[in-house]
Amino acid sequence: LGITNITDMKFSPDGLNFYLTGTGGDRVFQYKLSTAWDLSPSSVYYQGDSLALGDTAPQAMSISQDGRYMYFIGSTYDRVFSYTMSVPFMIGSADLASQRWLGGTVTNPKGIYLVPDGSKYETGFQSLHLKDDGTRLYVIGTTTDAISQYDLTTAWDIKSARKGLLQSGMSSDTAIQAFTLSSDGQYIYYWESANRFIQRYTLTTPYDILAVTSRQAIPASMFASAGPGLAISANGSYVFALDAST
């Protein structure tokens, strides 16, 4: 696919656009799929678009549901950055002048706050996700191995984020590398890197990580080594995980 050291992947809601980012190149690359959700070589072709990012060694990315915004987290600043795209889902149309970011303070330039008093920060981010209507942001990092949840008072605007709620105890694994939510917000999926399981948690209140009730382990032994990316198709019929061994 023309990119090395892949760290994350995302799809457009219709499954016809596929995005990859990685530390080999510090860019986001876009690919078109001739058949929705089909990553076979005959279906994938390079769109010709890529975007140079405002941070190095990108670890995670996301695309808004309407395709107007792209988000990513790099390793230098450990912040969430966003860009506006004038053509929905086309990263080549991203306006670099529209860059906004969440995280960092004068005393702690790296990381994102986790709790309302600002006393705890998360760094070493592995994955991020946004609610389908743009009013909530979720991130996970290696400091806590737990999801932090932020409400956005203005949809899709990360600068409007309210200090987060930290969810712990959702997994027994201390090396969680990726997560995603179902399109209806009823399930959250974890990539259990040590146990090589995908854990599916049920949320009694859609999109609320504090409303976890039960979990189901989905074996992922077909992957030789845990990768950092995880995605679920909009209809729930397909699951995608990056394999770090290839």
- Return the residue matching tokens 């592995």: 126
Q: How far apart are CA 7 and CA 66, in angstroms?
A: 23
Q: How far apart are CA 142 and CA 207, in angstroms?
A: 22
Q: How far apart are CA 198 and CA 188, in angstroms?
A: 10
Q: How far apart are CA 15 and CA 25, in angstroms?
A: 25
What's the mean per-residue pLDDT of the chain?
77
DSSP-derived 3-state class of residue 2 = coil
- What letter would DSSP give residue 162? P
pLDDT tens readout for residues 44-78: 887 666 676 667 778 888 999 999 999 988 777 77
pLDDT of residue 68: 94
pLDDT tens readout for residues 138-164: 888 777 667 778 888 899 998 888 766
Indicate the pLDDT class of residue 235, thresholds 50, 70 and 90.
Answer: confident
Minimal CA–CA distance to 71: which of 142, 138, 166? 138
Residue range 229-244: mean pLDDT, rounded: 77
Pairing of strands 226-232, 212-219: unpaired
A 10 A CB-CB count for 97 gives 7
pLDDT of residue 94: 87
DSSP-derived 3-state class of residue 156 = coil
Range name among 41-45, 143-147, 172-176, 202-206 with the lowest pLDDT average: 172-176
